[in-house]
Amino acid sequence: KSFLNHTAYLSCYFPNSQKTDINDLRVFWQKGGVEVVHEVYYGQEKHDNLSPKYIHRTKMDMDKWTLELLNARIVDEGQYSCIIQHRDKGSPKVIHTSECLLHIIANYSQPEIAQLHAGELKPNEHLNLSCSSSGGYPKPQQMTWLISHENRTRSLTSHMDVSQDAATKLYNVTSKLNIPIPTNTLTNISCLLHLGEQQGSLVSVPLGI
């Protein structure tokens, strides 16, 4: 996993137990089995075969056998293969292959609650709220509303509208809540954005009614 616009580190997992000289090895990285991402040709970096979008964006740490992909983007997500060939009697022979899957993460903004009507709140009317969060990746799982009063909290899951920016591929999410206006007791309403197992959740500042 790598954060958007940060450096992604992709490991070749090559132990080099034979202590082979890098001048006898050809190392190349491919994405999706098609695009050439990086190539080290018998000790020298070679740029002739690279896919244009990776030029000047990759560095290979030959001590750790790790590829650094600079300024990681959402379009960089996918399966990467590392292939190492040894110059064996003149003809190259594959001695190691490995694969890794790159996922990109972009942080969502803190969810914000907005009231969808103006004026004073009156008993027996309904409260219309929306909760929004923007600029994140990947797509979140769901949004939950938490309604707390008198030491009791109930949760409501309502429909979440999701839109994706065509250029940046980042997601914006909104959920709406319509409930009877609470009477006689202070009620705190929050919304919770569930991002998935690895990233946890984001919660809004509570709205007091």
User: 22 and 39 in one domain?
Assistant: yes
For 176, other C-beta atoms within 10 Å of its C-beta total: 17
Rg for the chain (alpha carbons), in Å? 26
Instruction: Count how many domains the chain has.
Output: 2
Same domain assignment for residues 83 and 121 = no
Q: Which of 105, 129, 151 is the last residue of a domain?
A: 105
pLDDT at 67: 94
pLDDT attached to residue 127: 84
Give CA–CA dist 135/107, Å, rounded: 7
Look at residues 161, 151, 163, 142 and name the one whose alpha carbon lies nearest to residue 188.
Answer: 151
Q: Are residues 90 and 113 in the same domain?
A: no
Q: Which amino acid is at 99?
A: E
Q: Are residues 98 and 188 in the same domain?
A: no
CB count in 10 Å sphere of residue 154: 9
Going by C-alpha positions, the residue among 191, 186, 183 that lies closest to residue 129 is 191
How do the pLDDT tens digits run along the chain, 209 residues long? 899 999 999 999 988 887 888 888 999 999 987 899 999 988 888 888 889 889 899 999 988 999 999 999 999 999 999 999 988 777 888 999 999 999 999 999 999 999 887 667 676 778 889 999 999 999 998 999 999 888 888 898 888 999 999 999 999 999 999 888 777 778 899 999 998 776 788 999 988 88
Please indicate, yes or no, whether residues 116 and 80 belong to a single structural domain of this protein.
no
| DSSP codes of every residue in 28-93 | EEEETTTEEEEEEETTEE--TT--GGGTTSEEEETTTTEEEESS--GGG-EEEEEEEEEEETTEEE
Residue range of the domain that includes 21:
2-105
Tell me, yes or no, whether 66 and 23 share the same domain. Answer: yes
Q: Domain check: are 21 and 79 in the same one? A: yes
The per-residue pLDDT for 107 is: 92
- The pLDDT score that the predictor gives to residue 18 is 77
Q: Which of 88, 105, 122 is the last residue of a domain?
A: 105
Looking at the fold, whether 42 and 58 belong to one and the same domain comes out as yes
User: CA–CA separation, 31 vs 166, rounded Å?
Assistant: 22
How far is CA 159 from each of CA 76, 104, 174, 179, 205, rounded to the nearest angstrom?
Answer: 30, 25, 9, 14, 20
Query: Do residues 84 and 76 make contact, with C-beta atoms less than 8 angstroms apart?
Result: no
pLDDT of residue 119: 67
- Specify whether 199 is located in the same domain as 134: yes
Q: What pTM was estimated for this model as a whole?
A: 0.80
Choose the final residue of a domain: 105, 127, 147: 105
| CATH (domain of 20) | 2.60.40.10
Per-residue confidence (pLDDT) for residue 198, from 0 to 100: 67
How far is 3 from 172, CA to CA, in rounded Å? 17
In terms of domains, do 6 and 19 share one?
yes
Would you state the pLDDT for residue 123? 67
